[in-house]
């Protein structure tokens, strides 16, 4: 394993750049004594960045709301699908969580539109004997 001399993150042996800070990695896989230090002082910002990168509860919340939005949109509980979709979009930090929220929101809205069209057609008598809610 290689370690980044700037932030101290573990990197793959074949990596040329750090996946956390983007710093160019040395050819050998040594870990310097001051991996978390800059100019001889302890770099708390590097440690905080690594911790927040690995333990980001905001991303977990966004993903949870995205999944809930998707599930409620698919099973037809549209109001909850829309609510969780909007919350999921606002709380998501990564693109996959945001995408799940957007898809759940879109499914819920499309489902409501289809329900309204079917109700209108049933009311006008175009669709008889079939009423979908």
Q: For position 26, what pLDDT does the model report?
A: 79
Q: How buried is 125 (Cβ within 10 angstroms: 0-12 exposed, 13-18 middle, 19+ buried)?
A: exposed
Q: For position 5, what pLDDT does the model report?
A: 80
**Rounded Cα–Cα distance for residues 116 and 108 (Å):** 12
Q: pLDDT digits over 86-100, tens only?
A: 999 998 888 888 898
- What's the pLDDT band for 106 if we cut at 50, 70, 90? very high
- Residue 68 forms part of a structural domain: yes
* The total number of structural domains that make up the chain: 2
Q: Are residues 28 and 50 in the same domain?
A: yes
Q: Are residues 72 and 47 in the same domain?
A: no
Q: Are residues 21 and 38 in the same domain?
A: yes
Phi, psi of 21, rounded to the nearest 5 degrees? -110, -10
The DSSP secondary-structure symbol of 4 reads -
Per-residue pLDDT at 111 exceeds 50: yes
Q: Are residues 64 and 88 in the same domain?
A: yes
Mean pLDDT for all residues in the chain: 75
Q: pLDDT digits over 18-52, tens only?
A: 888 888 887 765 555 544 444 444 444 444 444 44
Q: Closest Cα to residue 3, out of 62, 75, 13, 50?
A: 13
Q: For position 44, what pLDDT does the model report?
A: 46
| 3-state class (DSSP) for residue 128 | coil
**Rounded Cα–Cα distance for residues 133 and 127 (Å):** 14
Lowest mean pLDDT among 1-5, 14-18, 118-122: 1-5
Enumerate the H helices of the chain as residue ranges. 44-54, 57-75, 78-91, 95-124
- What's the pLDDT band for 55 if we cut at 50, 70, 90? very low
Range of the domain at 35: 2-54
| 3-state class (DSSP) for residue 25 | coil
């Amino acid at each position: 394993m290689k370690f980044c001399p700037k932030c101290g993150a573990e990197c793959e042996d074949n990596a040329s750049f750090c996946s956390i800070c983007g710093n160019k990695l040395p050819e050998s896989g040594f870990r310097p004594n001051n991996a978390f230090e800059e100019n001889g002082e302890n770099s708390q910002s590097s440690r905080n960045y690594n911790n927040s990168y690995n333990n980001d509860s905001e991303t977990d919340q966004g993903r949870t709301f995205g999944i809930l939005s998707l599930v409620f949109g698919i099973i037809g509980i549209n109001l909850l699908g829309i609510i969780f979709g909007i919350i999921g979009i606002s709380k998501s930090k990564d693109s996959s969580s945001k995408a799940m929220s957007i898809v759940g929101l879109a499914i819920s809205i499309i489902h409501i539109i289809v329900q309204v069209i079917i109700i209108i057609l049933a009311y006008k008598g175009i669709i008889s004997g079939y009423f979908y809610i």
